[in-house]
Amino acid sequence: MPPASSSEAAAPRGTRVAIIMDGNGRWAEAHGVSVTEGHRAGGDALRHITEAALDLGVRELTVYGFSTENFGRDPEEVAGIMQLFMELVEREAPIMVERNSRMCFMGRRELLGDEIRERMRWAEELTQHGTAMTLCIAFGYGGRAEIIDAARAAVLEDGVDGLDEDSLRRHLYRPELADPDLIIRTAGEQRTSNFLVWQGAYSELVFTDTFWPDFAEPDLRAALVEYAARERRFGGRLTEAGAS
């Protein structure tokens, strides 16, 4: 895929995007294959969207891979997801190096097995010098859990009287990442489902009916175009002619 020219740019370069990758199971059902094959197709989609995001000038891409609530799914499905996740990390990390891009993870790693944690550590070290784009995979992640963990750490370090927005932000799982400008959710649901509860307070939202395994570069570009056409107010008012 050739890089997008300035005339084709869908949104300002440097845009931060987050995606709730929903619909693998329904895609599998629609195609008459196992849910594991649906998750495998979802992993393939992530590879293509990561490449497209880099070409479109996205600075940070954060994706919702596996939530704390997902541990309540059928044990066989969970085991399959864990295996596919390790395969994805091992396959994609060297490609991220070739793209001069960084891979990182966020979530409660203590909920994951030793092998998965080691694979994550390996990928983060391998790609740590990438500067073109950051791909952050939220795995074993919950937005409320993140806030609780951050608040506990902030109180331990700064005391109750020192707890404010700045101190809490410093203790989020990935404080170096900016708040997402845009959150996309696939597969028709119109909620954020405990994803980036703190960081997404002022994010623009785009919902699409497309199942995640079918989400491709044109869909990402369309979401960026929609985002670019919006006026972000951050709680303020538009001025003069733009005011309502």
Active site residue 70: yes
Q: How far is CA 168 from the centre of its chain?
A: 20
> Which string of b and e fits 8-20 if b means at least 16 CB within 10 Å?
ebbbeeebbbbbb
β-partners of residue 17 are 61, 182
3-state class of 208 per DSSP? coil
Q: Which residue in 24, 44, 55, 70 is the catalytic one?
A: 70
Q: Which two tokens stand for residue 189?
A: 């649901």
Active site residue 22: yes
Q: Which two tokens stand for residue 32?
A: 């008459």
Q: Give residues with Cβ within 8 angstroms of 45, minimum separation 6.
A: 21, 212, 213, 214, 215, 216
Angle between helices 75-98 and 114-126 (to 10 degrees): 20
Which are the catalytic amino acids? 22, 70
